[in-house]
Structure 1
Amino acid sequence: IGAAVAYALGAPPLGVFSCLICGIIGSNTIAMDGAVAVLKVGEPVGAMVAALVGAEVSKVVNNRTPVNIIVIPTATILAGGLVGIYIAPVIAEFMQSLGMLVNSATMLHPFWMGVAVACIMGILLTLPISSAAIAISLSLGGLAAGAATIGCSAHMIGFAVASFRDNGWGGLISQGLGTSMIQVPNVLRKPVIALPAILTSIVLGPVATVGVQLQNNSVGAGMGTSGLVGQLMAIETMGADHTVLILATTMVLPAIVAFAISEFMRKKGYIKPGDMKL
């Protein structure tokens, strides 16, 4: 993540490699257990923020002195590392709060649980936050996992079909089977483009929990249609005889609803050509 962020921001080569360290520090991947360093799953948001700062610093100090090979790595790692050290605990606490929010939503009536869980998990999937990690850490299962699946699928399929006019078949596949996270820069520029996906998750959440009673396990709950993991895990949970129902609920319906909403928003001028261009 650190190297990818730095490369995308146009950091010099030494800055890109140095941001690898920034990403490790920011994600809090390495924790100390006494005198022993322990590797654990890190937070991608912390890695991104630390790498962002490190990359910008590397661009500022690049070619300012004849000893780039010393100055750039030192300045980059110091700046990004310090940000990472102080932001990693905050990010970890934020993730725990999100987990508690999702967990609270699972206690609601099935209808409202479908709305809340689908909406929250869908948004988390699109943001640079691990929805899959949250689903696994909470051990989501049954109807709650089904709601999470439809929410995540609604975002991936939703962004894919809503942006089809801008990105064509390549964008449809990369978002529908890859990740809707690649739309984050566009969402930051114009948040309203996320509405088709969000509204689709809200509409279809109760359909999953009350209508078809979609179920899944914790592994597939936060994956959406990425590699069809969510669908495969749902089939494993509910049985192969529910395959058509699962595919229709998590792929066909989100495509229809999201496309209808996005076309309405385009006609009203809320979404303009190029707004969702990758």
Structure 2
Amino acid sequence: MQPFKCTKISVLGNARQCELTLEFGEQTPLSVFTFDYTSTTIRKGKRGVGERMKAFLERKGIQLSAKVYFIDALSAMAIGLFSTLIIGLIVKTIGEYSKLDGLITMGEMGMALMGPGIAVAVAYGLKAPPLVLISALAAGQAAVTNGAGPAGAFIAAIIAVELGKIVSGETKLDIILTPFVTLTAGFTSALFIAPPIAQLMSTIGQVITWSTAQQPLLMGILVAVLMGLALTAPISSLAIAIMLDLSGIAAGAATIGCCAQMIGFAASSFRENGWAGFVAQGIGTSMLQMPNIIKRPAILIPPTVAGAILAPIASVWLRMTNNAAGAGMGTSGLIGPMMTLQTMGASPSVILSVVLLHFVLPALIAFLLSEWLRKIGWIRFGDQSLYSTKQS
């Protein structure tokens, strides 16, 4: 075996791999080896353009996948929405009821930062480096300023962040180049790309709202079931409701579906999880059940059926409404019921409707149906245990 000489060593940049270019005598062509410190393996072979591009994107932390942009980024967007628009709306509402001008001003300031909040949350969700993360603030603000709304801020933030990540750390002028590229990409997309997408989302929301008003029975069921499932799945129902700008009866039906998922799971899993689990799911999130749903999909039946049963009552007979901020939250932090009271007014009849359809009836229907499914063997004890979920 002829000795070899190393002609080039370069670190790929993620502190886990280095690339060695080796020459084995005169008979063996130049080859590229990638050495992974964690697996201590060497792979030989000439890399094409596609492979080099893939390696570059991986080094930059860019994954071109639906999961990243429609689940991870959308979930991160919900954090930005909650930290600005939602909490601001809650504080403003409390200020209006308590006649405290300071709370009203504070709430309005929080709501005004929705665009930057969405952008920085998306940047954080996409694991952007610091310069990109901070620069993304302007992209979100530019989208909102140009009338693109939350959907536009979301799109502008993704484009700005991913392009910013590409140039980050590549030159000695990083502190200037990275913010410049991020700002330029965000502002350009906010001007030309985000507004049409935001308009499309708004139009879809208007069609859903109009359709629900025309056919409250069928559309009420459909909206409640789909939004409820989105809330429990690792998809942000809040972001969907905000981007679609749901309102009126459609938002009311969405609220019913989301409340039914949270309160329904809290009640149907009470045997396993007790009061701690009831509170965690009832005013926290039903997403805690996702690992259990994957293992036993039947546990999704009780809360989903509860939402489908109660949605027509709310849409057809009680004509319950809500706004976009409350439509996708359910009973999480009691935001869905609070926004319903703000939208419809806190009259005794509205309060009674909220208590019954957001809390009492979803719990009752889901619990009874869950008990029947336990009896016929579709659900077994432990299938909905949050403790076992944590252990797994």
Q: Displacement of 1:247 after TM fit?
A: 1.5
Corresponding residue number in structure 2 for 1:273: 381
- The gaps in structure 1 that reach 5 residues or longer are 1-20, 47-96
Letter in 1 for 2:383: D
Aligned to 2:167: none
Partners of 1:103 and 1:201 in 2: CA distance: 22
- SS of alignment partner, residue 303 of structure 2: helix
Q: Look up the equivalent residue of 2:269 and give its one-letter code.
A: S
Match of 1:244 among 323, 348, 352: 352
What residue ranges of structure 2 are gaps of 5+ in the alignment?
A: 1-59, 74-121, 141-152, 159-199, 387-392
Q: Is the 8 A contact 1:161 1:255 kept in 2?
A: yes
SS at match of 2:283: helix
Q: Partner amino acid for 2:258? A: C
Alpha-carbon offset, residue 38 of structure 1: 2.1
The match for 1:165 is: 271
SS state at 2:136 partner:
strand
Alpha-carbon distance between aligned partners in 2 of 1:167 and 1:42, rounded to the nearest angstrom: 36
Provide the rounded CA distance (Å) in 2 between the counterparts of 1:263 and 1:163: 10
Q: Distance in 2 between matches of 1:163 and 1:98?
A: 36
Shift of the alpha carbon at 1:216?
A: 0.6
Partner SS, residue 38 of structure 1: helix
What are the Cα deviations for residues 67-100 of structure 1, in whole angstroms up to 9, with x where unaligned? xxxxxxxxxxxxxxxxxxxxxxxxxxxxxx9999
Cα drift, residue 260 of structure 1: 1.1
Which of 298, 307, 327 matches 1:221? Answer: 327
Residues 270 and 278, structure 2, Cα contact 8 Å, conserved in 1: yes
- The answer to whether the 8 Å contact 2:302/2:370 transfers is yes
TM-fit CA distance, 1:212: 1.1
Count of residue pairs brought into register by the alignment: 204
C-alpha deviation, 1:214, in angstroms:
0.9
User: 8 Å contact 2:202–2:245 — kept in the other structure?
Assistant: no
1:102/1:164 CA distance change after superposition, 3 Å? farther
Q: Does 1:189 align with 2:290?
A: no
Which residue identity does 1:131 align to in structure 2? S
| Aligned residue in 1 for 2:262 | 156
Describe the shift of the 1:42–1:212 C-alpha distance in structure 2 as closer, same or farther (beyond 3 A): same
Distance (whole Å) between structure 1 residues aligned to residue 378 and residue 62 of structure 2: 36
Match of 1:147 among 227, 241, 253: 253
Supply the AA of the counterpart residue of 1:263.
E
Structure exhibiting the larger radius of gyration computed from Cα positions: 2
CA-based RMSD: 3.1
Q: State the distance in 2 between where 1:23 and 1:232 align.
A: 39
The 2-side partners of 1:168 and 1:117 are apart by 30
Identity of aligned residues (%): 46
CA deviations 1:220-253 (Å, max 9, x no partner) are 0100000100000000011110212212111111
Q: Distance in 1 between matches of 2:255 and 2:327?
A: 5
More helix by share: 1
Distance 2:227 2:276 in 1: 25
Distance 1:255 1:165 in 2: 13
Deviations 1:110-146 (A, max 9, x none): 1111100000000000001110111111111110000
Q: Which has the higher contact order (CA 8 A, sep 6+)?
A: 1
How far apart are residue 267 of structure 1 and its match?
0.9
| 1:261 aligns to 2:359 (yes or no) | no
Whole-angstrom CA distance in 2 between matches of 1:42 and 1:205: 30
SS in 2 for 1:275: coil
Q: 1:145 to 1:274 in 2, by over 3 A?
A: same
TM-score w.r.t. structure 2 length?
0.48
- Alpha-carbon distance change, 23 to 258 in structure 1, aligned in 2, over 3 angstroms: farther
Question: Map of 1:1-278 to 2, 5 A cutoff?
Answer: 26=68, 27=72, 29-30=122-123, 37-39=135-137, 105-106=208-209, 107-108=211-212, 109-241=215-347, 242-278=350-386
